[in-house]
A and B are shown apart, each in its own frame.
Chain A
């Protein structure tokens, strides 16, 4: 058993390429597809955030109906940096567990112009002022509903902790995905049999800028392997030119370019770290249950023997 583990043990590496408020990009290497995909799935549906879950509507004379407004409120990303301190209603056991954040929205249009109700109009829970709707740089807020004169909306909303598996509103990422790192080898010997025009023609056949012609050496070089979209255009072109095998393109099965775009609820790095935590916990849970299972099996087997 131990020997098998040893064979498959790897030391995955993460090389961070960029990190902004909204997104991050890193290269995950020395691991395989299952690991990359597991991470992706965890980021999307297991990293917890806070989102509005229950809405009590007192007055609603807007054009949108109650359920529709409640649904829109649910989709507002809330700053969830403190989500770890919270308990979801399913986890909570103690009375003093923090499960709810309360928001109020009380607006009425009195002017003749159409009034926009945005996430800026939401009154935050005084006890948890840091749980608030995500703001955009311009501070315009997210539109919830538009009001005409004398229309009114008065509601209380309760936000809870949850995960994307339950509902997409709890997913912390707008999108997260990985790409296989392409590996491109140009057969320079064969390439040299092409004329300069043919080389340029071949380079242009790729819809994205992958190759370039070195003006000095007049050789075709790989400019940006990652831009390659696996469209096969350049391979097709090579065959059209009568030079199959001009280029050899592979996907590396152990290296992934990972991109995480946040909804704003969590910082992208937090999503990654929390995701890793979740994955780790899940693995621990798995090992634990495997062990219990093994023990009970052993006990049963022993019971049968005796």
Chain B
């Protein structure tokens, strides 16, 4: 049994866990999210101007169906499967139906079912047919047997919604930003802010700004515009409370008993705040709300019949603390924000770092769609409203708002929501008026490239910081902060511009995708447990006790009570015990774990609840106990030391926990009591990073490089090759499983998608062809199959795309012309641009009797029968040379045929032809897959798994390679020892030794990093040294070698052993660019650029400078003139013009307005002149000169501007 292969008939849980944030969040969107959006959508109200009746319109009960085929014969299977979409270039989508309800005031509700287009469906989500299929069933549906889903299929291309980092919801953050000063006069840099999220994922960020005079302004956003109101007014808007009460609530934030500076600081400011309201003569709650309403009536676009009070209430409900419904809760939160603001300003607490993962959450695909759908449904209602409004304005008497046909007609104008979602997925552009409280409008989706499995899975694990940060000059956001530990991989981030912004989740990190099913029950259960554990529940009338003694307890951005500081740890521990007990119910805990039993309502506490306990520390992070039950949080399992059971912790929670690392020792501070422990050392690494063998022995940047190169490796991208239509796909022919592999290699069943070859690598400087990261490959090994590969190119031909023609695949009749070599001469071989004949791999001597006789050739009466069949499609297995046709289509109208000819300089073999469509509808679409040879050639790129890349510089035959004296073994590959000292990739040396020992003993070697920390007393050098010695080899991997060229022994022992090598996708065949002559720009006659068009590489200024500096005049002349726009032209020596000389016959006809006769024939020399100057009317002084053609062009252009340019000929 091979450990790295999938066992059983189920898709491995490990794979499904990788895409968990995608699939689960989309499931949530389908099952709940969409309903929540529709429920919370504001109904449309229209008053009929004639009848004066009020009508309400709203949506209800959205239903997403199953993906179905459009045109299907009755009785046939109408189900649309993902493979149909991939092969047919279609979108995997299902119809979205929704009820449009309408009601006249006082009347009954009428409803009308409408289809709002087709919604793209995520593969393997609840809406997909592949959900819960076994591996054999998946294979039956022409899928990958390990299909894990998580992506959408848009026009045949697999795209995923990228996860983005957002600010953590429902947590008050204290910030000092210089930008806040620009908000207006008196504004300081200090503010507290909170991001509030409604159940339908609509979010709104609000802020409390501190002003220089000690007052506070509250900021919120309406349709991307920011508005400020005095916090004092807002304080009074929520409850009918006296100023005294508010004052008491405010001043408790500072320790009162001491009577110290902070206490008076807050007291002064609280007074000021309350005066703010009083100064505007606003005393009661109603006055305050009316004041708000009168100011925001226009902005909010409320109907005139609503009173100011109603508008004010509307504002409070929809723009201020939108996650809370009770005014008392809102007041509590505002006071908490003010407390934190005062603490920040007075220096009692420090500011929060907005770049730290503690204050982050994830924008999940399902949530993005949810927000997007809300926006678009609102838009649809808006358009519907506009339609009715227009009709009402035009002829109100004709409009019957209860007439079904009228409503239907107006509703038909609603946009196709499916198309909008599709556009969003296809382009990644978010078209929205409100901006959805997101910081970017583009880059939401990426293509899930199947270059190899590493790259593919990385797409699902990647998370981007946001496009805004990519342009930022400062590098602070890119920094690796300790807060990311365990959630984001420190190794797996690309080099260059996205470094630190594009991160990858660790393998064990999960995202909470669902809200609690019954939020009320959950909240009640938590509050009950908290109260039982010593929390004083909050009530609007209760004055909160001061913080050092008491800590505020907040649950999802709601102040739920206070707890004595001394009692807080106990409360937190109690809750932790419950949450791990809940986790134990969900998934079996380890056998030695002991968890408590949950009773009654305790069972409602979710296992992923985040309990962030921040103790009081003067000048530290603002204290409190913060609980989070909602979605979009990152969680990961750690071990509770006391119960030995796993517990899911979040990033804010982790920040104040004591978690023991396997090799952490005392954790940096003596006497630190650990409450939790990591399960293993792999916790910090992503999937790809944890596949690097012995990465703990390497210099860290090398591991980052390997994460990059692993994703560029040609490997085994998939197994369902016949059903893939990717434009380009690389595949290695002879993959192997690595001898040295980490534990995660087996966990993630990487043998299903092997990526390289165990090559015998010798480390020596040999022949000089291995200098500067070049490497020598054994030609004979290559000939035996080492690193052989193919490039699979799929060409999709859609005959419907051609407008005005009725194309169908078909063949053309054979030409009768005997000179048509293509069809007559059986041995005609096409010629490439440089005169090379195709195919190049057949010796030119192929005309032996047997070859002639046995040559199996498809013969037919039609043209190009060697490549194409009667239907105009290529034979499978046909070799297509450059310039030969690979399909043919005939226009039914004109009878003319149109063929596709193979471009480029390479010979391809037809691998597969897939026809798309049905017989009835016409088979007008075909996918033609071609194989191109990509066996190693000089210049191809290879790499080990330790960031050691190199270019193949020479293929030495077996005879020239050095061989081991004892066994006669020749290396497959030679690299230079200079690759090691500066890069310090000791892991590679260990791999070589360990693989050698493993190969000799016939078993795989565990190459997991940090083995010693995991309790294995391993010392790979001695362990494998001993194994090598036992097998009769030198202890440290060196061996005596003999030069293959001279036969003499090398003075030093050579380090040799198997190392797993990857072949990278950067290949010479795809990149080489060479030309001597070729296409030119018609205007300047200079060579064009672009490899595709046979153009040249620019020989620019700097290159010119270097040649000048070398004095290489002839080379310079050759490059810039001879090989460029060298042209011979005539110039008149007398008038100096380049343009006036014209040919004599032209002159004779009088063309160009000049008529030259007689005297011009007195030329020099015997022959009559060909060219004469039309200005001088003579051929006497006309000389032929060689000039760049572009100069002539310049002279012409100048002439067009009335500038004469004359040459002096010498």
Interface residues of A (CB under 8 A from B): 33-34, 36-38, 40-41, 44-45, 54, 56-58, 60, 65-68, 71, 75, 89-90, 92, 95, 99-100, 102, 156, 158, 164-165, 167-169, 171, 175-180, 207-208, 229-233, 251, 259, 261
Contact = CB atoms under 8 A, between A and B. Distances in A.
Contacts of A99: 848, 850
Interface string B1029-1043: 100111100111010
Nearest to A155: B856
Contact of A65 (B851, B911, B1035, B1042): B911
Interface in B613-661: none
Interface string B815-852: 00000000000000000000000000011011011110
B471 interface: no
B483 interface: no
B854 A102 contact: yes
A54 B846 contact: yes
B144 to A, nearest CB: 15
B854 A165 contact: no
Given A100-B849, A178-B1047, 11 more contacts: A34-B1046, A37-B1045, A38-B1047, A54-B842, A56-B855, A67-B931, A99-B848, A168-B781, A168-B958, A207-B1033, A207-B1034
B1067 to A, nearest CB: 17
A36 B1048 CA distance: 10
Given A44-B959, A67-B909, A207-B1035, A33 B1047 contact: yes
A259 B964 CA distance: 13
Given A34-B1047, A67-B909, A100-B849, A75 B968 contact: no
B712 interface: no
A212 B718 CA distance: 57
Contacts of B909: 65-67
Contacts of B965: 177, 179-180, 229-230
A233 B733 CA distance: 42
A171 B780 contact: yes
Interface string B901-939: 000000001010000000000000000000101000000
B1034 A75 contact: no
A65 B790 contact: yes
B877 interface: yes
B1053 interface: yes
Most chain B Cβ neighbours within 10 Å, of A38, A158, A229: A229
In the A-B complex, the 10 residue pairs with the closest CB atoms? A37-B1047, A177-B968, A168-B780, A168-B783, A100-B850, A230-B1040, A175-B968, A33-B1047, A41-B959, A89-B845
Contacts of B395: none
Contact of A100 (B788, B848, B855): B848
Nearest to B785: A71
Contacts of A36: 1047
B1032 A208 contact: yes
B779 interface: yes
A46 to B, nearest CB: 9
Nearest to B1035: A207
Given A89-B848, A180-B965, A251-B1049, A45 B1032 contact: no
Contacts of A164: 780, 957-959
Given A40-B1047, A177-B963, A179-B966, A231 B1034 contact: yes
Contacts of B783: 167-169
Contacts of B970: 175
B1047 A89 contact: no
Given A45-B959, A102-B854, A171-B958, A207 B1032 contact: yes
Contacts of B896: none
18 contacts: A33-B1046, A34-B1047, A37-B1046, A56-B854, A57-B877, A65-B909, A67-B909, A75-B784, A92-B848, A100-B850, A164-B958, A165-B957, A168-B781, A168-B784, A175-B968, A177-B965, A208-B1032, A231-B1034
B969 interface: yes
Nearest to B1048: A33
Interface string B773-793: 000000111011100101000
Nearest to B722: A63
What's the dominant secondary structure at chain A's contact region?
A: mixed
A275 to B, nearest CB: 12
B867 to A, nearest CB: 15
B779 A168 contact: yes
A65 B966 contact: no
Interface in B744-783: 779-781, 783
Given A34-B1047, A207-B1029, A65 B958 contact: no
B933 A44 contact: no
Given A169-B783, A229-B966, A102 B850 contact: yes
Contacts of A207: 1029, 1032-1035
Nearest to A56: B856
Nearest to A170: B783
A44 B1045 CA distance: 13
Interface in B998-1037: 1029, 1032-1035
A66 B856 CA distance: 14
B1079 to A, nearest CB: 32
A58 B1053 contact: no
B1049 A230 contact: yes
B1029 to A, nearest CB: 5
A44 B785 CA distance: 18
Contact of A229 (B850, B968, B1034): B1034
Contacts of A158: 850-851, 854
Contacts of B1039: 229
Interface in B2-43: none
B528 to A, nearest CB: 62
A207 B966 CA distance: 13
B287 to A, nearest CB: 81
A281 to B, nearest CB: 18
Contacts of A230: 965, 1040, 1049, 1053
Contacts of A177: 963-965, 967-968, 1042
Contacts of A175: 967-970
Nearest to B843: A89
A242 B38 CA distance: 90
A165 B1034 CA distance: 32
Interface string B1053-1095: 1000000000000000000000000000000000000000000
Contacts of B911: 65
A143 B969 CA distance: 24
B1032 A75 contact: no
B875 to A, nearest CB: 11
A261 to B, nearest CB: 8
Contacts of A40: 959, 1047
A81 B851 CA distance: 23
B957 A90 contact: no
A86 to B, nearest CB: 12
A156 to B, nearest CB: 5
Contacts of B842: 54
Nearest to A43: B959
A218 B420 CA distance: 94
A156 B911 CA distance: 20
